[in-house]
Chain A
Amino acid sequence: MTVVDERPATPAEAPRRRPNRLLALLRNSWRQLTSMRTALVLLFLLAVAAVPGSVLPQRNISPEKVNEYFVEHPDLAPRLDRIGAFEVFGSVWFSAIYLLLFTSLIGCITPRMRDHVRALRSTPPAAPKRLDRLPQHAVLPLPEGGVPAIVEALRRRRWRVAVRGNEVSAEKGYLKETGNLVFHISMVVVLAGVALGHWYGWSGNRLLVAGEDNAFCNTRQQYAEAKLGPRVDSAHLPGFCLVLDRFEARFLESGQPDHFNATVTVEEPGKAPRSADFSVNSPLRLDGANVYLLGHGYAPVIRYTDRYGKSQVSDEPFLTTGDAGLTGEGLAAFPDANVDPKTGRRDSNLQVAFTGLYLPTAPEAPPYVRSQYPAERNPALNLVAYRGNLGLDAGIPGSVYELDERQIRTGKVKQIGDKVLRPGESWKLDDGTTVEFLGTKRYVTLSVRHDPGSGLLLVSCGFLLAGLMGSLFGRRRRVFFRVTTPGDADPAGETPTSGSSLVEAGGLPRTDYPGFADEFAQLVAAVGGGGRPDEAAGTGRDGHDRAGTREGTD
């Protein structure tokens, strides 16, 4: 946090025979970029550039909201999209700002690192000729032990001391610059950690319905949506399998969730299957992946018995609609229904599907469209039956949670009725087939992730914090002591040194440090055993802040 700009230009480079204009331009641009002023402007730009990221919906956080925005602002949205306003944090301009900032940062700390290493290895500089010109100044009688006693007193206070004849120079507070550098290097490492996670990390989201039949094994195809880093090969995903055995959810009377717990059987390659629990805030940590519980809901178990007496069961999850009562909406499709067992011929116009709403706690009276409580107190399944070509055979990708609207519009699928079913109830359709609502299974929404950069992030954040404290609370300062014996030629010529030996002391805070006067006085008192700091010489030159001499953050 100290001064970086106005570094004295190196005069040695000046006499050059043919000044290369390009080089000069580059050098000047580099100096400009690494100046504190530029860094401040870039910091400010970074803050401003982040604002649209919170105001506009972002594609990587809520893609559905981005789509809504496109619908609501058909004119503005494409234009915003072109400048990357829906992907602010990955956009060219945002990246440009932080990359420039980090370049500036590296350009700034590299020479400082060199200087600091040099400073750490060098001894404190020789005392200036006139100590009374320093911000702090005192004259005290020579302590009994002489110079070694002064050195001893300083060393005890962990000053770095150099003795040159009758002069003692001491310096302290290297921690400030060390902390400063550690902080800024940690910033670079944090960025590296983020980059590492981006390149080598992967994540996927999916629903997992309870029961062994619905086991999920970790492959790319098993995810509804997956993001793989550019350096991740989908063949190398860790091959674990999960079965959801149980899901518990407790709710308060108000419907507010109180407790979640998912129990799964985990099978990892080369290990025996084991049972594991995880929850919100305590993810399932596996080798090379973590599994997070994001949400939950109900999957109604629907059995359809076709006109040939053949039964099929669907336990597709009904996606929650976002209300507190966990109303679910979904589709149970039976594309293989009504296949004649004799001929084996499949009449695609006899395919059957049910769309519906599942209400864990249905209201007392219709309409049965909104659940009143998230637990199953009065479950009801509000089904609409369809028959016809569901359009699943065409190979056009569609949602497994919704019926293809085109098929309904074109009349290929016809609605044949609707009914509210309670668990165990069945409904005979017009063609004599039956549908039964057997009950529900729980499902959970999972996010499976692997971020190889997280460990690096954590460690660098620790260093960042430690460095930050050092740089904010460390203070570099120097003190000098000079023993003057009466016979010496006094360089100042006016110091009161007639009589016995005296020690002249001077103090120089190298950073803004209003408490330095106090520390200096204490130090002088400790060294001289009661010497008085020379008030008249000591005040008035300590920079700007004379009013508050005590630091609140010592």
Chain B
Amino acid sequence: MSALSDQLVTFAILAYLVAMISHAVEYALGNARRRYVVAQPARELVGAAVGGSGGTITKAPDPAPRVTGVEGRPVGQARIAGLVAVGTTVVAAALHLAALVTRGIAADRMPWGNMYEFVLTVTFVGVAGWLVVLAKRPSLRKLGLFLTLVMVLLVATAELVLYVPVVPLVPALNSYWFIIHVSTIVFSSGILLLGVVPAVAFLMRRGYEAGKRSFPYTLAKRLPAAAALERLTFVLHAFSFPVFTFAVIAGAIWAEAAWGRPWGWDPKETWAFISWVVYAGYLHARATPSVKRNVATWIAVVGFLTMLMNLFGVNIFFTGLHSYGGLS
């Protein structure tokens, strides 16, 4: 069962990769739409976009020769590529979920016992959240390129760096609070990590709409309107912030039972505090008209960095009471 889970993870990564390539194809073909306006610069932009999003897209030149001056065909192809991308993302998410379930069955517990399992779950929550967003607002589909890129990177990191064999829980984790605290932390972390996708997209798109045509902004040419991205950023954060707050409170209640104090400035707790404060700052900034929306969004991006620090950095650099990562 454990081996099956490992294979499913590999297939999920491949599926995310295919989804990412399909999104990239859609992106590249989408550029053809305005070819009749300026032919040459548009082609250069294809190169810039491909180079900028990780350099892993190899298929992009392939459909390029088919681009004709006629508007209809490549746009239709782009649409097909986009739908293929969404379809593969769904398949990848299903594989991802299956990997988690089999891992859980193999370990006979919730698959959140170490960092490998934790990252797998967080990323799954992220992709599931993305699919929900996509179902509600199909117009945001093009963000999928960034999302699948993040998924490939994170899941592959989990598989290559963080992998540990299945082991049962240590007694310290053996509590019903494990399910309450970890599930809510995983859920909110997943959505908060997802939240950075529209946040970064908004910052790029806003620059693009403001007329900036230098490198990172050119990527935003095909992105949805800045206002919609900003709205999505807020919705995701406003939704997950109370869940995160609850998770931290649940953690404090558990810590009181396990370690005798609700809060002890353990590195993980400290970084959860930092993330919480930064996200609280984001929500306040966004609710304040005198603070510009891009400043607020930058705060959200900083929040994402603190979350990453808490997910990876704290386990790798510091030792503390939350050292269940399985990394030595």
Contact = CB atoms under 8 A, between A and B. Distances in A.
Same complex origin of A and B? yes
Interface in A18-56: 36-37, 39-40, 43-44, 46-47, 50-51, 53-55
Interface stretch (B14-22, B46-54, B65-73, B279-287): B279-287
A451 B256 CA distance: 10
B290 A5 contact: yes
A546 B171 contact: no
B288 A4 contact: yes
Contacts of A1: 283-284, 287
Given A257-B171, A260-B171, A40 B278 contact: no
B3 interface: no
Given A43-B277, A44-B278, A282 B257 contact: yes
Interface in A38-83: 39-40, 43-44, 46-47, 50-51, 53-55, 58, 60-61
Interface stretch (A121-129, A161-169, A327-335, A456-464): A456-464
Interface of A: 1-6, 36-37, 39-40, 43-44, 46-47, 50-51, 53-55, 58, 60-61, 88-89, 194, 203, 252, 254, 256-260, 279-283, 290, 292, 294, 447, 449, 451, 454, 457-458, 461, 464-465, 468-469, 472-473, 512, 514, 544-548, 550-553
Contacts of A468: 241-242, 245
A39 B253 contact: no
B167 A256 contact: yes
Interface string B224-263: 1101101110011011011001100100111011111111
Given A203-B260, A258-B171, A465 B242 contact: yes
B264 A61 contact: yes
A416 B175 CA distance: 50
A539 to B, nearest CB: 14
A36 B171 contact: no
Given A43-B284, A252-B168, A553 B227 contact: no
Interface stretch (B84-92, B207-215, B265-273): B265-273
B261 A451 contact: yes
A40 B270 contact: no
Interface residues of B, number: 63
Given A40-B284, A40-B285, A50-B277, 12 more contacts: A1-B287, A47-B273, A54-B265, A54-B318, A258-B170, A280-B171, A282-B175, A454-B256, A464-B249, A544-B227, A547-B228, A552-B132
Contacts of A473: 238
B274 A51 contact: yes
Contacts of B297: none
Given A44-B278, A47-B278, A461-B249, A552 B239 contact: yes
Given A203-B260, A465-B245, A553-B238, A545 B265 contact: no
